[in-house]
């Protein structure tokens, strides 16, 4: 694991995360593998990102903390369901790997990549962004604290420069 990915996993452990919903993504691969290897974390692969919202709402109502891992393109799939945790006062931390930015090779990723932050904010989600490895751990830890203490939705956008150039 790269240091910033290790920092994310450490922040998850410190936040007592027990449920992780994810759609497979290369940017989250190391964190997903760490979650799957940890017996204290239930990692659930989703067929689509919006399935993660009711999964985590239910987990919270059952006394567990969770986080949703997704790519920026998946944010568009979640728009309608983002109102659920807000109306219920349930925390929803999300870690979003960005596409459609720096050095993007796939034009299909550009529109949602550019709209991710405004869409999340329009739905009442607090949004932070990490573009440098040395800031990821602190930003993710603070986002988890805010989500669980204020019982709100918080997203951390993990910039494409941080994740690295994708080549096909």
Residue 65's nearest CA partner among 5, 124, 21 is 21
What's the pLDDT score for residue 168? 64
| Number of independent structural domains in the chain | 1
What's the pLDDT score for residue 1? 61
Distances (CA, A) of 98 to 32, 90, 112, 163: 16, 25, 9, 8
Within a domain: residue 113?
yes
Domain that holds residue 94: 3-163
10, 146 Cβ separation under 8 angstroms = no
- How many CB atoms within 10 Å of residue 17? 23
Within a domain: residue 115?
yes
In this prediction, residues 142-152 reach a mean pLDDT of 98
Within a domain: residue 118?
yes
In the block, which residue shows the tokens 């450490």?
10
Within a domain: residue 24?
yes
Which of 78-82, 121-125, 161-165 has the least mean pLDDT? 161-165
CA angle at 140 for the pair 138 and 141, rounded to the nearest 5°: 65
What CATH code is carried by the domain that includes residue 70?
3.40.50.970
Within a domain: residue 168?
no
Where helices occur in the chain by DSSP H, the ranges are 3-14, 29-37, 52-61, 72-78, 83-88, 110-122, 133-150, 160-163
**pLDDT (tens digit per residue) in 16-69:** 999 999 999 999 999 999 999 999 999 999 999 999 999 999 999 999 999 999
C-alpha to C-alpha distance for 75 and 79, rounded to whole angstroms = 7
C-alpha to C-alpha distance for 118 and 104, rounded to whole angstroms = 20
Within a domain: residue 41?
yes
Please check the confidence at residue 102 and state whether its pLDDT lies above 80: yes
Please check the confidence at residue 95 and state whether its pLDDT lies above 80: yes
């Amino acid at each position: 694991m790269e240091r910033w990915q290790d920092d994310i996993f450490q922040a998850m452990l410190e936040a007592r995360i027990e449920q992780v919903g994810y759609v497979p993504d290369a940017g989250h691969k190391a964190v997903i593998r760490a979650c799957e290897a940890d017996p204290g974390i239930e990692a659930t692969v989703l067929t689509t990102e919006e399935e993660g919202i009711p999964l985590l709402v239910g987990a919270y109502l059952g006394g567990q903390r969770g986080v949703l891992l997704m790519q920026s393109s998946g944010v568009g799939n979640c728009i309608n369901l983002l109102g659920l945790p807000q109306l219920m006062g349930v925390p929803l931390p999300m870690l979003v790997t960005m596409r459609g930015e720096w050095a993007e090779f796939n034009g299909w990723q550009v529109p949602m990549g550019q709209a991710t932050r405004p869409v999340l904010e329009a739905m009442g989600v607090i949004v932070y962004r990490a573009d440098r490895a040395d800031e990821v751990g602190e930003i993710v830890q603070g986002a988890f604290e805010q989500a669980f203490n204020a019982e709100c939705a918080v997203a951390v956008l993990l910039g494409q420069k941080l994740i690295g150039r994708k080549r096909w």
